[in-house]
Amino acid sequence: MNKFYALFLFAIVAGNSSNAWAQQQSMYTMYAYNTLAYNPAYAGSAGAFDLNILHRHQWWGFGPNAPMTQNLTLHSPLPSKNIGLGLNMTFDRIAVSRSLDFFPTFAYRIKFGDHTVGSNGKKTGKGGYISLGLQGGVSNFNADWSQLNLDDANDPAFQVQRPNVWLPNFGAGIYVHTDKWFVGLSAPFLITNKLRRRTALEPADLPIAQQYRHYYFTAGYAFELTPDIVFRPTILFKNVGLFVERQQSLRIGAPNEFDIDAAFLFKNKFWVGASFRSAFELRASSYDSVDFWAAVMLGKGHRIGFSFDYTLTRLNPGVQGSYEIMYGFNLIRYEKGFDHPRYF
């Protein structure tokens, strides 16, 4: 059963002609903490050196073939404040396949509005930044197809038993934010690299394994309900193959997907949130999961978090959901004892 389902998961990666609805790039429930993973323009926006490490275990209880993702992001503004530099590294495992992304990021930040700071160190102006970001690096994809039980041993998609390819790529994004709201738009991987060569026996119009462009739109706002309680709704919208020819997109693309998240911050220390993830397409819409998460600011810049996704697809009750564990550190500047809150 595990190997059969693993083969289904690999459909869009291996390049079979059958319909397969999935996204190639990693998803995260606590996406607000590693925004750099999908938008290079986020680099430097934390106002100080920021590190985030996240481990995601997809479909816990499915067995050793369940997808697993590990992500590390770090970024910081340079002393000039107009430039942010960062690094995004992601490791993905899906059964017998592995992928590793290594992408340095660069952002140019442009101030707008009033950036006045009061005597207590708290920003009193309503200014913000428009940030334009680029990233460039390399991905490695490798697999061991010999561990699969194939219905067709001559399937051209699996003739190279242990593929191992290096794929250069680059991406771009824009991120606009103040202390109270943000809007972002990005495409982190713009080159549609082929994952294997077409064989002489395959029709020229048959789709084969390749990378597809993923587009992200995100937005959020922080409402200060009381001096001790902040309400922060956010949305993350994802699309694959936006500019791919429509018929081809329906064959090998993925449905549009969105995450709607609502979170509360108490006393600038404790975050509690819940979100809903769904995929929608004219022909194939579905509910994905309901998610719950919490994070704690431990002081001196340290933070930890945990999330759990309750699966709403047909995989339930066969799986126990998905979970994430997160650790982060932010080199916050202290001015006269004031710890400036950050909502994004």
For residue 32, is it within any domain? yes
The total domain count for the chain is: 1
**What is the tens place of the pLDDT at every residue in 266-309?**
999 999 999 998 877 655 556 778 999 999 998 788 999 999 98
Give the range of the structural domain holding residue 7, as residue numbers without chain letter: 2-339
> Does residue 340 contact residue 333 with C-beta atoms inside 8 Å?
yes
> Does residue 258 contact residue 280 with C-beta atoms inside 8 Å?
yes
Q: Provide the 3-class DSSP secondary structure of residue 7.
A: helix
What's the average model confidence in pLDDT over 41-47? 94
What's the average model confidence in pLDDT over 138-163? 78
> Does residue 340 contact residue 312 with C-beta atoms inside 8 Å?
no
- Is the pLDDT confidence value at 9 over 50? no
Residues sharing a CB contact under 8 Å with residue 102, sequence separation 6 or more, in sequence order: 87, 89, 137, 138, 139
For the domain that residue 21 is a member of, what is the CATH number?
A: 2.40.160.40
pTM summary value: 0.87
